[in-house]
Amino acid sequence: MALLSKLSNKRSQGSIYEQKARVYLETQGLKFIAANQTFKCGELDLVMTDGDTIVFVEVRQRKSNRFGSAVESIDYRKQQKWINAANIWLFTKRNQSLDTAKCRFDVVAFEGDNPPLWLPNFLG
């Protein structure tokens, strides 16, 4: 039961930071479309728009960077899952692909008590 409780707490904490990221990005002018879009190949934390650009947002949080920063935790494997999930979302929701849609991949990272770090076009 302790493992289930720990996983549930981690998901709950993730939701809190995704909400904080959403609010932060909305204050920067982005518009919310969807959250927690899950596919077999991966997950999209937030899908937003910035003008006519679709923005796929990865939200990362670390209490400390003892094991690496929040941004450093986005390794190659995670990036590939993120890209694949975005491509499926585009196909199923917009009948488009990464080749045809105007889109980008942003990161919002939270570390300790610092303000959010927004990295637009992280995969650009």
Higher confidence at residue 63 or residue 79?
79
Task: Select from 52, 40, 59 the least CA-distant residue to 106.
Answer: 59
User: 76-113: per-residue pLDDT in tens?
Assistant: 999 999 999 999 999 999 999 999 999 999 999 999 88
Q: Which residues contact 14 (CB under 8 A, 6 or more apart)?
A: 59, 61
Q: What is the DSSP letter of 52?
A: T
Distance CA 87, CA 2 (A): 36
Q: Give the pLDDT of residue 68.
A: 76
User: 27-56: per-residue pLDDT in tens?
Assistant: 999 999 999 999 999 999 999 999 999 999
State the pTM of this model.
0.89
Q: Give the pLDDT of residue 107.
A: 98
Whether pLDDT at 65 is above 90: no
Complete domains list, the chain, with CATH = 2-119 (3.40.1350.10)
Whether pLDDT at 5 is above 70: no
Q: Give the pLDDT of residue 62.
A: 84
Q: Give the pLDDT of residue 11.
A: 58
Task: Select from 117, 121, 122 the least CA-distant residue to 21.
Answer: 117
